[in-house]
Structure 1
């Protein structure tokens, strides 16, 4: 069984989370510059078996697509061309950034640490992955 890798796509930074090989636990992996994302993913799948990409789907409160969806769709086209062997699932990512920030507060991180946007992106990717695992 391979890992599931979740992507919290952003135009500048992208949070990455993965499951263990049994697909039970979701853990934050890293945050990468979005311009390097395809290179990172290509390198990662050379080292680890990944059976699915889960990509956040940002929506407005009224369930319409957010403005960033056009960038995500363009990325997905590139991802499918670069790594066609791994399927992609989309997961609603509404409120994950707010939940990530609250998680940081609840875990006792100091105010300076909570300003780390890369950490927020990584935690958001983990929340997206957890949501997917719960829905399976």
Structure 2
């Protein structure tokens, strides 16, 4: 069975998570510089079967798009043009970074380790993907 991949796209860094082949468990894959995301995905898709990509949709508390929404929308447009046959879902990514940081604390990571913003992005992508699996997949 193909995997589902999740992207927490940011101005500087992009966190990426992926499911196992049975689409049951989400795991952090990596964090990459955002300007390399399309190249990374081309290589990943060439080596792995991916059924669908989930991209976070940043919203404010009132449901309106956040300040970073414009940057992410540009990425989504580029993604669709580069991978027109790939299924794409957008999901609300509110609180994923805060949840990721809290996960790091709960996991016992030291303060220095929690300052790794790349790890926060990767964990945020994982949380987003696991939430998607719980909401939309029959497991």
Instruction: Name the TM-score class by shorter chain.
Output: over 0.9
* Alignment-derived partner of residue 74 in structure 1: 74
* Alignment-derived partner of residue 129 in structure 1: 129
Q: Report the Cα offset of residue 2 of structure 1.
A: 0.7
Q: Report the Cα offset of residue 89 of structure 1.
A: 0.2
TM-score, normalising length: structure 1: 0.98
Q: Report the Cα offset of residue 71 of structure 1.
A: 0.8
| Rounded Cα–Cα distance in structure 2 between residues aligned with 1:10 and 1:63 | 19
C-alpha distance after superposition, 1:97-136 (max 9, x if no partner): 1100000000000000000000000000001101110111
RMSD: 0.6
| Rounded Cα–Cα distance in structure 1 between residues aligned with 2:45 and 2:131 | 22
Unaligned runs of 5+ in 2: none
* Alignment-derived partner of residue 59 in structure 2: 59
C-alpha distance after superposition, 1:20-39 (max 9, x if no partner): 11100000000000000000
Following TM superposition, the consecutive aligned residue runs of length 4 or more in structure 1 with deviations greater than 3 angstroms are none
* Alignment-derived partner of residue 36 in structure 2: 36
The size of the alignment, in residue pairs, is 136
| Rounded Cα–Cα distance in structure 2 between residues aligned with 1:115 and 1:64 | 29
Secondary structure at 1:36 match in 2: helix
* Alignment-derived partner of residue 94 in structure 2: 94
TM-score, normalising length: structure 2: 0.96
